[in-house]
Amino acid sequence: MDGPISPKAEFKLPDVQESMVYYISNFHKIRTASRRKLSVEIPKTGRKIGFFKTSFMELEPIAPSQPGKSSVNVLEADQKDEQKKSSIPEVDVYSMRFSPDSSELAIGCTDGTIRIVDPQETKLLKILNNTQEQVPTTCVRYRPTVGASQKTKNVIVSSTGDGKIQHWHVPSQKKIFELEEKGNTILALDYSCDSELFASAGQDKVVRVYEEGTKSLLTELKMGLGSRDSDGHSQRIYCVKFHPRDPNMILSSGWDDTVHVWDIRAGCSVKKWDGPHVCADSLDIFEDVVLTGSWREREGLQVWDLGTGKLLKTIDFHRKDKQETETDHIYGAAFSMDGDLIAAGGSFTSETRIFDVRHNFRRVDKMRTKAKGVYSVTFSNSGRNLASGSKAGKVSILDMMPEMEEDDSPQN
């Protein structure tokens, strides 16, 4: 089976269509599977793969909520009033993140809303930030639970195109805090591994670090150590990432074709290398390997050594027979939580492509989307799901470990 995992028909929330493929050995795709229970252990990585199931959702445009009405009630009303709904602009997906326990998927949209989805049931659970202003939500992040045992659980931080950073309590759908970076368009957010800090970046080329407990500004990162080759960003920043183990280290990248490594204690950029042209959430780190997705025709997907800034490999985003006719133009790129896989998608493809890190970054699968243009990709912490978001509210969720029924086990 050479084609992508994709249902034949278009489905709207919450309908689901399955297409099943199984893998043995080192992620080799060998044939379409019948409905039998199958689980095999991959050598070296220990990853167990069974049937893969792809679910599709379409986030419906909704009218802004009115005073005294909840977002969910407005959504239900709109679904009953097709004429009213057809006059509302369609919504695109800007940013996506799974909750720490992988039970929810938060989706930041161009209409300003944050949709909370059950990834297993492909069911819309809640809608946050459904306001009259409808300023785009540019980034969403769940607050880590590590080191935060005394803190409120299920909290999301989000950013908006008019410079606001908002904290949301998901179960109650309430905004619990808001701060503003006046004159800035915030495009990126991230939490430190211990959840004590969060960082923002965007149009004004400054990385700001805040204390989570007090929500106060800790420092602004915008300069190097003094040498010309370590000055700060010269154009807008589209992605900011804390190191997964070091809460004092932040990486950032954007339009100026550079990656900066910042040390919060030093208050400046301590390392920089040239190359990536990052235009969305396409910078990630696993251990000391940096992944970048660049919005350009060629050499869009690359991995780098954090210690030296040296390019380790340029990953072939397209098959060899398509490399001369199709362009990369990567918008979303991410490592899986265990570092075994990379997923990436771009503006001129209708699929998210998956690569096996342990086997020379070989492409092992692709997940079809329902619209051309993949804007965001993210793996769940559990390793079970991969999600991608596209234009027109199209969301694809890949289940890499779907549940099987015991009575479907293969016969000897």
pLDDT at 65: 57
What residues contact 230, with CB distance under 8 A and at least 6 apart? Answer: 224, 268, 269, 270, 271, 272
- Give me the amino acid identity at 403: E
pLDDT at 250: 98
pLDDT at 132: 74
pLDDT at 25: 27
pLDDT at 91: 87
> Please, how many CA atoms are within 13 Å of residue 282, restricted to the half-sphere of its CB?
33
- Give me the amino acid identity at 243: H
Query: Which residue, chain included where needed, has tokens 């935060």?
Result: 148
Distance CA 380, CA 298 (A): 29
> Quick one: residue 161, left, alpha or beta (phi over 0 = left, psi -120 to 50 = alpha)?
alpha
pLDDT single digits (tens) 253-298 = 999 999 999 999 999 999 999 999 999 999 999 999 999 999 998 8
Distance CA 387, CA 395 (A): 7
pLDDT at 322: 74
What residues contact 336, with CB distance under 8 A and at least 6 apart? Answer: 342, 343, 379, 383, 386
Give the chain's radius of gyration (CA, Å).
21
| 142 in Cβ contact with 99 (< 8 Å) | yes
Token pair for residue 47? 């990853």
Token pair for residue 98? 């799974």
Continuous segment of H or E residues that includes residue 72:
helix 71-80
The segments of the chain whose pLDDT lies below 50 read: 1-51, 66-87, 149, 404-412
Distance CA 162, CA 182 (A): 8
| 396 in Cβ contact with 370 (< 8 Å) | yes
pLDDT at 67: 46
Continuous segment of H or E residues that includes residue 344:
strand 341-346
| 251 in Cβ contact with 236 (< 8 Å) | no
pLDDT at 52: 60
pLDDT at 101: 94
pLDDT at 244: 95
pLDDT at 72: 38
Cis peptide before 100 (omega within 30 of 0): no
DSSP annotation string for 269-322: EEEEEE-----SS-EEEETTEEEEE-SSSSS-EEEEETTT--EEEEE--S-GGG
| 23 in Cβ contact with 340 (< 8 Å) | no
What residues contact 167, with CB distance under 8 A and at least 6 apart? Answer: 155, 156, 157, 175, 176, 177, 178, 215
Distance CA 250, CA 242 (A): 4
For 265-285, b where at least 16 C-beta lie within 10 A, e where not — what string?
Answer: eeebbebbbebbbbbbbbbbb
Q: By CB neighbour count within 10 A (0-12 exposed, 13-18 middle, 19+ buried), where does 387 fall?
A: buried
pLDDT at 50: 38
pLDDT at 152: 82
Token pair for residue 50? 């069974």
- Give me the amino acid identity at 180: E
Distance CA 353, CA 381 (A): 19
